[in-house]
Amino acid sequence: MSSPPPVSSAAPSAGAGLNLAQQEAVNYLHGPCLVLAGAGTGKTRVITHKIGRLIQSGLKPEQIAAITFTNKAAAEMRERAKSLIGKPARGVLICTFHALGVRMLRQDGAALGLKQQFSILDSDDVSSILKDAGGSTDAATVRQWQWAISRWKNMGLNAAQAGAQASGDEERLLARIMAHYEERLSAYQSVDFDDLIGLPLKLLQEHEAVRNKWQAALGHVLVDEYQDTNATQYEVLKLLVGPSGRFTAVGDDDQSIYGWRGATLDNLKKLPLDYPTLKVVKLEQNYRSTSAILRAANNVIGPNPKLFPKTLFSELGEGEPVRVVDCDSEEHEAERVVARIQSLRLGAELQAAGSQFKEWKDFCVLYRANHLAKPFEKAFRKAQIPYKVSGGQSFFDRAEIKDLCSWMVLLVNNDNNPAFIRSVKTPKRGIGHTTLGALSAFADTYKLSLFESLFSNSLGSVLPAKAVGSLQEFGRYLNDLEYRAKRCVGFEAARLFLTDWLKEIDYEKHLYDGEESEKVAAARWSNVMDFCDWVAQRCGGQITDAAGATVERESKTMLEMVQTIALLSTISEREGEQNVVTLSTLHAAKGLEWPHVVLAGVNEGLLPFKLEDDDGSNTENLAQRLQEERRLMYVGITRAQRTLAVNWLRKRKKGRDMIAGVPSRFIAEMALDQATVKEDPREKLKALRAEFAKKSAETLAAAAAAQGR
């Protein structure tokens, strides 16, 4: 087996400079610019260098905004900008679309009737409010309502507009539920995640002074992953940059895989129409993958219609051929993946005379849907291979963390009823469902929030004195906590504040009382401690990082830090990189890369997904679905740096039945030399083990002979 050339995981280092296309993108400052950045072509490098170029040209750092789609991408971009530009990078606004929306609404939301300390509801809060607004307790029904309302909001529609264009009784009913939902959000001084885009758009559209203020404040806006924007986000961008179009959009139409959540390629089509002077720059040199991998990727994406044609190329050499592996079943596939990983590690050991195995973190298995991970988990546990399932339960989805977050949200916005209900019941304080039901009815009658109702002179008319006393004691404690949080600045003060708070509410006892297993309770308490460290660090001041170095962060009060907490979907920033194999869906893997990748279950019905279920009446919709599935395959292929294996199943499970498996049409589209790329990893592993045993025996024999002499 020939050794592939070394592969860089990023664009060239700063010393190596930018290639010609990257330079062209970075140096174009005079108008709207679209950078078509193919997979692995160094788009983050282009964005950070362009930030530096804009500052060099005279823009102040605070006049530049770089918008990303995830907190992780924003954090990476901040680090890259800081290492390239230095101190001025601190002033650049680098954040997600949603974080920008929060900033706009905190500053100017009063024009829409929002208090500065409004709350941001998570999915569970939204579900709870919708159950109340629609009078249903069925989780599946409420989830369908959530998706439909979110889709309407992403199209820029409110309840009245949705009702006006409803196409049947079911949609008209849903529009009425949406109207009740909107009323409750307003009463609770709360917004959902879709509002963080929709309400800023409303601000910019309807309030000229606000629009002028933001256009004057932002000299240039850079948007990462532009192909993932929805219609509302595009309208926000247009109003932020004004008619002159001071923006750089960076994206790849071949990696648009989020159509199901509102992302639209129409935004790419509109750019040249809305901005006739648009400069288009293509980045086609890939710094991630070998030529064999890129050839398969280019072949797969070839049949899709092209907005802006491009072809990726690499100077990293041919590398290993892409392997196609046919498997008898899901379990057989998992065994073959285990064998492949073990043979690649053992092969490296044999080739490099005593060098270290390839690390576990070098390997990734990608699949179309979450349920396909189970056979791999079982096989990995049996083979004692460490792994993680990407997209598993978020740290912030754990019950103990949601408990603490609800308290913190309530400090910022006392009118948040869902946060109030969770906080007043956790830990228990003798306030039961009957008391809360009466309090809720009282609040509805007088158009008050639950917190406001606590101190009403009339509350005693509907609740006994003991219940009123318990509720008011809770209210007074919250007021005291808020007072202390406003004056708590920096890491040490925040850590003390959090420690005292947990002791005061006896939260550790609450966890141990609620769990039969002390081990589970201890693990949950450990999560709480991690969370407190994480929160305190974001209050700034001098902190010590994982490497033991002292880092200076901008100091914030606890209350300022807490205002951002509902936007955080992951705590991965604080976690070091784990040396484990990654199991991930294709959607969750976008933007990531690994030296060795396996694409699992590449069958018709899985990838592309269930096209046979389409009744054929809407051929345009079917064609669009197939194109997006092809883009998903392209994204999967381009995650691989050095080796790629593509698996398909001869038989696969469908419900409780086993059905004949058909290899995905995308395997044929890769146009590989099938005679040379099929393999059985188990046979290869058997041969490698035999070779390893032979070499070990030879080494032992030589050592014995030397000792005998």
Positions marked catalytic = 43-44, 224-225, 255, 639
- In 3-state terms, what secondary structure has residue 225? coil
**Furthest CA-CA distance within the chain:** 102
What is the rounded end-to-end Cα distance, in angstroms, of the chain?
A: 37
- Chain-centre distance for alpha carbon 179: 29
Residues 149 and 174: beta-carbon distance below 8 Å: yes
Burial class (CB in 10 A: 0-12, 13-18, 19+), 127: middle
- The long-range contacts involving 103-109, CB below 8 angstroms and separated by at least 24 positions, are 104/200, 104/203, 104/214, 105/191, 105/196, 105/199, 105/200, 105/203, 106/563, 108/203, 108/207, 108/210, 108/213, 109/199, 109/203
**Beta-strand pair 651-654/657-660:** antiparallel
Here the tokens at position 498 are: 């959090």
Q: Whose structure tokens read 């040209």? A: 57
Determine if residue 447 is left, alpha or beta; phi over 0 gives left, psi from -120 to 50 gives alpha, anything else beta.
Answer: left
- In angstroms, the CA 595 to CA 358 distance is 10
Q: Whose structure tokens read 């802006």? A: 308
Cα torsion through 461, 467, 468, 471, rounded to 10 = -140
Beta bridge partners of 282: 36
φ and ψ at residue 550, rounded to 5 degrees: -85, 125
- In 3-state terms, what secondary structure has residue 697? helix
- Percent of residues in the chain assigned helix, strand, coil, to nearest 5: 55, 15, 30
- In angstroms, the CA 566 to CA 569 distance is 8
Residues 465 and 504: beta-carbon distance below 8 Å: no
Cα torsion through 448, 452, 453, 456, rounded to 10 = -110
Interhelix angle 465-486/399-412, nearest 10 degrees: 80
Burial class (CB in 10 A: 0-12, 13-18, 19+), 615: exposed
Here the tokens at position 100 are: 């920008």
φ and ψ at residue 307, rounded to 5 degrees: -75, -45
Burial class (CB in 10 A: 0-12, 13-18, 19+), 632: buried
In terms of Cα–Cα distance, which of 617, 696, 681 is closest to 339?
Answer: 681
